[in-house]
Every structure is written in structure tokens, then in C-alpha cells.
Amino acid sequence: MKTKRRPLTKRGRRIRTGIVFLAVIVGLMAFWQYGSLEYLLDTSALQGKRTTRHVRQYRATIQKFTKRSGIAHFDPVIEAIMMQETKGYGTDPMQASESPMNTYYSNAPNAIQDPKYSIKVGVEHFADCLKAAGCTSPSQRRKLMLALQGYNFGNNYIQWAQKNYGGYSETNAKIFSARMQAKLGWSAYGDPAYAKKVMAYYDYNRTAASAKFFQKLENLGL
């Protein structure tokens, strides 16, 4: 025997509408603040074709160290950095061996032999870059790109770009790279397009999360 569902009262409909409205507002605020909703709604939004399972396997480790460094809302950016660096492969997935934060292994390229330590060092190094760039939210795009380029070049680039150009641009990244090549006598110095490449992964993930969020709203009949 089927039990008839009692229709919602006017008060019940108001309460339901209020709850849905509040959820939408919280979601939109998170999207504005952090640039992504992956960790608020459904982390599978990051599991698109642009993020490998090798990166995803380190998600809990990334969250552990970003929380410790006070940059938990930059989790998707860290994943994007790892994608650009190694796609999650190897014992130094964040390519953090040469970072001054690495005090356990040699500072030679690929010296780190522990992926978790690599992530710890990489997160600490990126947190330092964010601080130098004055970036407190992923929504501060130009400052974020300055921090990202600093992750590749070193913090001296951040200070140089701020002093001479007021911030990041791919053009001044090329100038800095050329100057350092000449100074050190190297054939190359970093990747002037590094920030742009990392943002390509981050923007894909953010778009995927956004689409998933608005699909949820549509399913709710909003």
C-alpha cells in the first residue's frame, strides 16, 4: 500500500527555499573567494582529462601540507603546479629539490627521493612565493601568476618584477630569464611561460568545478 506524500505547507516551502538559497549564496561566495568549488562540493571535479591519477593520489598529502602552511584554499593550484612539473610521476613530483626549503636532501635537481617530502617542500616554497607576491586568494590572478613564476625562477624574480614592472608579465619573465642566462653563463634559465602553463591546468579544473556546481543548481530546479 502506497503512502500518500503530504504536500509541503507554505511554511515548509519557505524553509526549503531558504535552505537552497543559503546553499547557493555560500557556494557563490566560495567560488568568488577561492576560484573553485572542487573541495566544497565534489572533489571529483578535478578528475578531468587534465589531471592525472598520479596527481590525484597525492590530494590528501597536498591538503595536509597546505593546511599546515595556511594556504588550504590554494589546493587546486598546487595540483596544477604538480601537473606542470611532473604530472605526479617520480620521487620529486613538485620538483622541489633545488628549493631553499629543502634542508634534508641535496639541492641538486631531482635529489629528493620521498614524494611526500617533495610536496611538503613544494608547498612551503609556494607559500613563501605567495607571501612575497602579496597574493592571499586564487582570485588575485596577476599576483597568483607572479607567485607561480617565482616558484619556477625563485623569489628574486618576484622582487625584481615588483620593483621594475609593478608585477608579473610574460614579457618581463622573458627579460629576467635572459638576464639570468647571461649572468650565470647558462644556455637557459627556467621557463618564462611557466605561470601561463600552470594556469592552463588550474583554469580547466576551475571551469569543470563551475559547470558541476551549476548542473547541481539545475537539478534542484533553480
* Exposed e or buried b per residue across 90-114, where buried means at least 16 C-beta atoms within 10 angstroms of its C-beta: bbbbbbbbbbeebeebeeeeebbee
In a domain, 107, yes or no: yes
- The predicted pLDDT at position 30 comes to 52
In a domain, 42, yes or no: no
In a domain, 48, yes or no: no
- The predicted pLDDT at position 35 comes to 44
Amino acid at the residue 162: Q
In a domain, 159, yes or no: yes
195's CB contacts (< 8 A; 6+ apart) are 145, 146, 148, 149, 152, 168, 170, 173
Domain CATH code at residue 190: 1.10.530.10
In a domain, 165, yes or no: yes
In a domain, 93, yes or no: yes
Which structural domain, as residue segments, surrounds residue 89?
Answer: 53-203
- The predicted pLDDT at position 197 comes to 94
- The predicted pLDDT at position 212 comes to 52
- The predicted pLDDT at position 44 comes to 38
- The predicted pLDDT at position 203 comes to 76
Q: Is 37 exposed, middle or buried (0-12, 13-18, 19+ CB in 10 A)?
A: buried
Q: Is 14 exposed, middle or buried (0-12, 13-18, 19+ CB in 10 A)?
A: exposed
**pLDDT, one tens digit for every residue, the chain (222 residues):** 555 556 657 665 666 666 666 666 655 555 444 444 444 443 433 443 468 899 999 999 999 999 999 999 999 999 999 999 999 999 999 999 999 999 999 989 999 999 999 999 999 999 999 999 999 999 899 999 999 999 999 999 999 999 999 999 999 999 999 999 999 999 999 999 999 999 999 875 555 455 455 555 555 555
- The predicted pLDDT at position 51 comes to 80
In a domain, 35, yes or no: no
Q: Which segments within the chain are labelled E, that is strand?
A: none
In a domain, 17, yes or no: no
- Counting the structural domains of the chain, the total is 1
